[in-house]
């Protein structure tokens, strides 16, 4: 049964479903992206990479995972962040050469260390530099490679910040960007407080036919559909809500077909996905090096287990390569119903509400 939602276009690329996996620093590597695609995400973005790193990049065993793309991931975007405009073009070309289908420029990261180095969300405070970066990337990569942008709704909620946002937003499309993802929080908010979906609604009305993806407070399949229905955005990117819960994509597809929300995955279904995620990570990083990366995911996967605190503790105690299999044998050996993860996040702010 087909989705009741329209397809999503990223330049020449047509996606069959408008719910995609966002770029997630420290998370959205090739194994996570592969699992997300298998579970229903129509598209994904890699964890953000620095221009300086890419310009100097020489493939070595310890760094090869950054540019690894599995055959089943396409289309997939490479996300780029940096400070100096002149480095963005050569860095973007490295991503194209690695096989990424789309180049996404990050003007949204709110992390203090990033802002202090004049990267990410800092560029929302300097429209001329931001638009120079867009021009350099668009000029550097082949015409058939779409260029997209990630933004927040501004540095803060001042009138000056709003003016700078719209100068960058409109200017980016004029310079060849085909889609912009906008997070409903400001840079200064980071991840504190609610996301303002009203801003996304206003922005889509302003943008008209230009493609916008919404971001912020998407922790359930229903919230993905709610954001599109309320704001009118063309698609949504699921970030933190997809860590350890790739089922959010198949659940969103079911809701879009008019079906009831599927039950959370059973323990055996969880076991299969966790085991495959670990297998892909071991294949990419090696049995020892994958442990720190997979520990972060396992903590999130444990939230779908009815005994999540005990399962989380066991996953965190894994210190030896392959010992995670003992955790699966202990907690996922027999089938039982899973649970939907607890959402401990503020609700988005919509018309008539006060933050």
The answer to whether 146 and 102 have CB atoms below 8 angstroms apart is yes
Q: Exposed, middle or buried by CB within 10 Å (0-12, 13-18, 19+), for 104?
A: buried
* Backbone conformation region of residue 349, classed left if phi is above 0, alpha if psi is from -120 to 50, else beta: beta
List b or e across 325-349, with b for residues whose CB sees 16 or more CB atoms inside 10 angstroms: eebbeebbeeeeebebbeeebeebb
Given a contact cutoff of 8 angstroms between Cβ atoms, the answer to whether 249 and 280 are in contact is no
What torsion do the CA atoms of 87, 93, 95, 100 make, to the nearest 10 degrees? Answer: 140
Contacts of 90 (CB under 8 A, 6+ apart): 51, 54, 55, 140
Rounded Cα distance between 35 and 186, Å, is 30
From 109, 118, 224, 290, the catalytic residue: 109
- 109 included as an active-site residue: yes
User: Could you give the CA distance from residue 9 to residue 106 in angstroms, rounded to a whole number?
Assistant: 19
Please tell me the distance from the alpha carbon of residue 78 to that of residue 137, in angstroms, as a whole number: 12
The pairing of beta strand 19-21 with beta strand 102-107: unpaired
Q: Which residues are catalytic?
A: 109
């Amino acid at each position: 049964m087909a989705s009741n939602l329209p397809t999503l276009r990223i330049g020449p690329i047509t996606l069959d479903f408008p719910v995609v996996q966002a770029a997630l620093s420290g998370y959205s590597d090739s194994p996570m992206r592969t699992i997300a695609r298998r579970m229903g995400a129509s598209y994904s973005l890699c964890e953000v990479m620095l221009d300086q790193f890419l310009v100097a990049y020489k493939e070595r065993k310890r760094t090869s995972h950054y540019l690894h793309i599995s055959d089943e991931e396409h289309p997939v975007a490479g996300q780029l962040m940096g400070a100096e405009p002149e480095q963005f073009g050569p860095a973007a070309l490295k991503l194209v050469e690695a096989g990424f289908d789309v180049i996404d420029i990050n003007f949204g990261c709110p992390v203090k260390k990033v802002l202090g180095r004049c990267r990410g969300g800092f560029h929302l405070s300097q429209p001329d530099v931001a638009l120079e970066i867009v021009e350099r990337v668009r000029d550097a990569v082949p015409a058939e490679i779409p260029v997209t942008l990630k933004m927040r709704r501004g540095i803060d909620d001042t009138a000056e910040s709003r003016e700078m946002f719209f100068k960058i937003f409109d200017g980016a499309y004029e310079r060849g960007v085909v889609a912009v993802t906008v997070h409903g929080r400001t840079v200064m908010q980071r991840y504190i407080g609610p996301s303002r979906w009203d801003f996304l609604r206003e922005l889509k009305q302003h943008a008209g036919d230009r493609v916008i993806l919404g971001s912020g407070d998407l922790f359930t399949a229903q919230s993905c559909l709610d954001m599109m229905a309320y704001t009118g955005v063309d698609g949504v990117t699921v970030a933190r809500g997809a860590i350890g819960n790739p089922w959010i994509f198949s659940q969103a597809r079911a809701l879009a077909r008019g079906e009831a929300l599927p039950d959370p995955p059973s323990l055996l279904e969880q076991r299969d996905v966790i085991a495959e995620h670990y297998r892909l990570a071991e294949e990419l990083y090696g049995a020892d090096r994958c442990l720190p990366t997979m520990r972060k995911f396992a903590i999130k996967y444990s939230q779908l287990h009815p005994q999540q605190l005990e399962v989380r503790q066991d996953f965190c105690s894994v210190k030896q390569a392959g010992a995670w299999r003992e955790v699966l044998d202990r907690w996922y050996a027999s089938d039982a119903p899973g649970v939907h993860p607890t959402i401990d996040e503020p609700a988005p702010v919509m018309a008539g509400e006060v933050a």
